Amino acid sequence: MSEQRKAPLAPHESLDLHELLNLKTLSLAKSKMMQGLVFDQDLRALMEEDVQQTIQDIDQLQDLYTRAPIQEK
């Protein structure tokens, strides 16, 4: 991993990351909920792929979140 990738995130990047994480989390919840309402197996399979990809995305965003600045008092 390069030194630049290990650098802490700027405050505006932390905010953007937080917003992305919220969006992905809400998307995951909605996709999982909607799967119970879908009867077409092809659509259900596509939605499951979306759920799995979103879980991976959330994991990656959470890894980045460890670099977000924390304000010390």
Q: How far apart are CA 51 and CA 45, in angstroms?
A: 10
Is residue 12 assigned to a domain?
A: no
Question: Which pLDDT belongs to residue 70?
Answer: 64
Residue showing tokens 């909605």:
30
The H-assigned helical ranges of 1-73 are 3-6, 11-35, 41-65
Burial (CB count within 10 angstroms: exposed 0-12, middle 13-18, buried 19+), residue 58: middle
Range of the domain at 56: 28-63
Is residue 56 assigned to a domain?
A: yes
Is residue 3 assigned to a domain?
A: no
Structurally, how many domains does the chain consist of? 1
Question: Which pLDDT belongs to residue 20?
Answer: 95
Is residue 8 assigned to a domain?
A: no
Is residue 23 assigned to a domain?
A: no
Tens-of-pLDDT digits for all 73 residues of the chain?
A: 444 456 787 888 888 999 999 999 999 999 999 999 999 999 999 999 999 999 999 999 999 888 776 655 5
Question: Which pLDDT belongs to residue 28?
Answer: 96
